[in-house]
């Protein structure tokens, strides 16, 4: 009898891999019954990484969204699954253990069946709590392997991890091929090993299109025994997202697998509605380049979901790099040349950094180091002259154990800067915090919510939750949309960091060079997501080309570099403030 292959629609990831926001709850309620009507999906990815956070960011209650979105699938007998980042939960930095244990209890009560948990470093110490907490809450625990391709990431390496995850009690294993660089034959061997050793374990494959290997990988893992394949659908399929269910279904059907038929009338209606959401406001955050695949990603291994943010980063430093090259008498580079240089730089430094799988947040850290290396080298300085503190956290082991050894030059650099390597359990750095959040809710007169869901949102996304409760988030979101719509209007010229700074009138400090926002987004003087961080004090020395701050725009942490060296004389924007492109944030003299 033919083996059945089931399909999961990764509707959440389709949007996150394309832009910044997810659809609103009214839009999700509209498309859900149509997706059910397609008749081909046994699973739907409904929420998780970024879903709740971006709901808060535009002033919507994420708990209402999750309950309303999962309900039609629950009623239809379609399983729902979420994505969480182990130590980092649903955010980009560490989460207290008691908050992590609360999460699956809340999500199970909200109608989510499966918790897909991944650690970007594949550190089993970070995944154990995820697996045990999901099981205790009555959820299906799906432990994910962050797939990449390197001399370290062998079938034996991954099977050692699988052994530990199954030992923790994981019900399922997901091959999370977030960059689509997993080699088809290797993935097929890995699935064969898993199913041979653990025939009861469900295996699900998640492969982004990226460099174009994922269709071959899908066929190979299916032939090796995989049970579920993640798919996307138009108009958010292919490019940097996921293969389309129509093509996957046709390929597997031809290969002799038992697959469900697709109700094409429902497919076209779901396609129309998704395009309607894009036309409403979500398209303002979607980079058209995400529709394009690139074989260059095979070498650097960067995930397709961060291509938009990476391009924004490059645009932010392009002018500064060309200024430095021009000063030293070297030829300037085009944006396309710089893009290729960045791919090559990531490929060069990745082994030196211990081969961290390039998935959130470690893809961002590695990319940030590569960007700053390009700037440093343009200025005649050596590689690794500028490393931000979050990237150092990865290097020093605070987020988990790196898969491979660090290069001696990185170890020596840490020693020269008086840094210590962390050898403890990463979770121990994040003590329990729920009592403090409960106290805050009581003081504010806030309800903890059904099944403690409001308490969970505050504890997981405290800054965004407070902005949501105050109404600031909704106000800021509407201003942001209006600004982006205005920016979509034709402009006479493209503004660079240099032109913005030189053209802006600054009567407050006429002899100083302004620090000008090169994008619209959230200002981070320190990239630790802590609103208590402050701007650099007057008198702080800055070097030309060094990062003064970052702007979080469409999930990009865009470095804002000093166009001239000197001292900070004043700043006029606070940590976490929403800024617009062209805003003056401070002055350097």
pLDDT of residue 168: 98
Q: Beta strand 566-571 with 541-542: parallel, antiparallel or unpaired? A: antiparallel
Cα 300 to Cα 359: distance, rounded to the nearest angstrom: 12
Measured N-to-C along each axis, helices 155-168 and 124-136 cross at an angle, to the nearest 10 degrees, of 40
Question: Whole-angstrom Cα distance, residue 244 to residue 225?
Answer: 21
Angle among Cα 551, 557, 558 to the nearest 5 degrees reads 65
CA dist., res. 236 & res. 261, Å (int) = 20
Please report the pLDDT score of residue 404 as a whole number. Answer: 95
Segments of the chain scoring below 50 in pLDDT: 491-505, 529-530, 554-556
pLDDT of residue 257: 98
The predicted structure's pLDDT at residue 133: 98
pLDDT for res 402: 96
Measuring CA to CA, which residue among 546, 545, 543, 551 is closest to residue 527? 551
Choose among 212, 238, 127: nearest CA to 172.
127
Distances, alpha carbon 559 to alpha carbons 276, 434, 528, 537, 563, in Å: 33, 33, 14, 19, 12
Rounded distance between C-alpha atoms, residue 140 and residue 135, angstroms: 6
Give 258's strand partners. 4
Sheet of 513-516, strands arranged across:
513-516, 584-588, 566-571, 541-542
Among residues 398, 415, 419, 408, which one has the least CA distance to residue 354?
408
396/302 Cα distance (integer angstroms): 22
**What beta strand segments (E) does 471-517 contain?**
513-516
Give the C-alpha separation, 287 to 292, whole Å. Answer: 10
The closest alpha carbon to 356, from 396, 412, 312, belongs to 396
Q: How far apart are CA 395 and CA 527, in angstroms?
A: 16
> Is residue 65 within a helix (H) or strand (E), and if so which, with residue range?
helix 62-76
Domains of the chain: 6-290 (3.20.20.70), 294-428 (no CATH), 497-588 (2.40.50.100)
172-177 and 202-207 strand pairing? parallel
Output the CA angle 446-451-456, nearest 5 degrees: 60
- The upper half-sphere exposure of residue 362, i.e. CA atoms within 13 Å in the direction of its Cβ, equals 33
Q: Which pLDDT score, from 0 to 100, does residue 291 have?
A: 80
CB atoms within 10 A of CB 176: 28
Cβ atoms of residues 537 and 567 within 8 Å: no
Residue 582 tokens read as 């062209």
Cβ neighbours for 418, distance < 8 A, ≥ 6 positions apart: none
Give the number of other CB atoms < 10 A from CB of residue 198.
Answer: 17
Q: What is the Rg, in whole angstroms, of the alpha carbon atoms belonging to the chain?
A: 24
d(CA 359, CA 368): 13
pLDDT tens, position by position, 266-277: 999 999 999 999
pTM beyond 0.85, yes or no: no
The closest of 321, 407, 309 to 358, measured between CA atoms, is 309
Kind of pairing, strands 566-571 and 584-588?
Answer: antiparallel
């Amino acid at each position: 009898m033919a083996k059945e292959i089931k399909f999961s629609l990764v509707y959440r990831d389709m949007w996150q891999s394309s832009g910044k926001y997810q659809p609103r709850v009214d839009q999700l309620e509209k498309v859900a019954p149509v997706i059910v009507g397609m008749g081909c999906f046994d699973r739907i990815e409904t929420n998780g990484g970024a879903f709740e956070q971006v709901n808060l960011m535009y002033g919507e209650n994420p708990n209402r969204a999750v309950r309303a979105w999962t309900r039609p699938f629950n009623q239809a007998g379609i399983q729902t699954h979420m994505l969480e980042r182990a130590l980092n939960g649903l955010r980009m930095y560490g989460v207290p253990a008691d908050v992590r244990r609360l999460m699956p209890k809340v999500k199970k009560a909200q109608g989510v069946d499966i918790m897909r948990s991944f650690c970007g470093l594949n550190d089993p110490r970070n995944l154990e709590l995820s697996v045990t907490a999901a099981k205790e809450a009555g959820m299906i625990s799906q432990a994910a392997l962050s797939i990449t391709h390197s001399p370290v990431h062998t079938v034996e390496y991954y099977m050692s991890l699988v052994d530990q995850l199954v030992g923790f009690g994981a019900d399922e294993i997901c091959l999370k091929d977030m960059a689509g660089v997993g080699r088809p034959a290797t993935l097929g061997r890995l699935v064969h090993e898993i199913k041979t050793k653990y025939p009861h374990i469900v295996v699900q494959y998640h492969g982004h299109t990226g460099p174009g290997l994922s269709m071959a990988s899908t066929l190979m893992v299916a032939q090796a025994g995989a049970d579920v394949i993640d798919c996307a659908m138009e108009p958010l399929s292919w490019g940097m997202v996921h293969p389309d269910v129509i093509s996957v279904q046709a390929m597997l059907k031809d290969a002799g697998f038992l697959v469900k038929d697709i109700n094409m009338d429902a497919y076209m209606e779901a396609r129309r509605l998704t395009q309607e959401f894009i036309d409403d406001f979500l398209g303002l955050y979607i980079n058209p380049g995400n529709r394009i695949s690139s074989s260059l990603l095979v070498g650097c291994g960067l995930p397709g979901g961060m291509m938009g943010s990476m391009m924004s980063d490059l645009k932010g430093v392009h002018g500064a790099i060309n200024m430095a090259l021009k000063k030293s008498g070297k030829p300037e580079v085009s944006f396309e040349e710089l893009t290729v240089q960045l791919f090559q730089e990531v490929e060069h430094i990745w082994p030196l950094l211990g081969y961290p799988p390039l998935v959130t947040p470690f893809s961002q850290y590695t990319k940030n180091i590569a960007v700053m290396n390009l700037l440093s080298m343009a200025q005649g300085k050596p590689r690794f002259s500028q490393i931000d503190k979050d990237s150092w956290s990865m290097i020093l082991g605070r987020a988990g154990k790196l898969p491979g050894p660090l290069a001696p030059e990185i170890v020596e650099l840490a020693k020269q800067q008086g840094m210590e390597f962390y050898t403890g359990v990463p979770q121990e750095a994040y003590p329990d915090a729920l009592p403090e959040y409960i106290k805050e809710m009581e003081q504010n007169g806030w309800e903890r919510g059904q099944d403690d869901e409001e308490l969970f949102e505050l504890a997981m996304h405290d800054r965004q939750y407070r902005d949501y409760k105050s109404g600031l988030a909704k106000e800021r979101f509407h201003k942001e949309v209006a600004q982006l719509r205005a920016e979509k209007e034709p402009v006479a010229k493209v503004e660079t960091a240099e032109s913005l700074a030189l053209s802006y009138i600054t009567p407050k400090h006429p002899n100083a060079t302004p620090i000008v926002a090169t994008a619209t987004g959230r200002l981070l003087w320190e990239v630790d997501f802590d609103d208590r961080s402050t701007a650099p004090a007057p008198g702080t020395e800055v070097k030309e080309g060094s990062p003064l701050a970052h702007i979080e725009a469409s999930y990009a942490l865009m470095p804002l570099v000093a166009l001239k060296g000197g001292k900070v004389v004043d700043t006029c924007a606070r940590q976490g403030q929403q800024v617009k492109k062209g805003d003056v944030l401070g002055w350097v003299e």
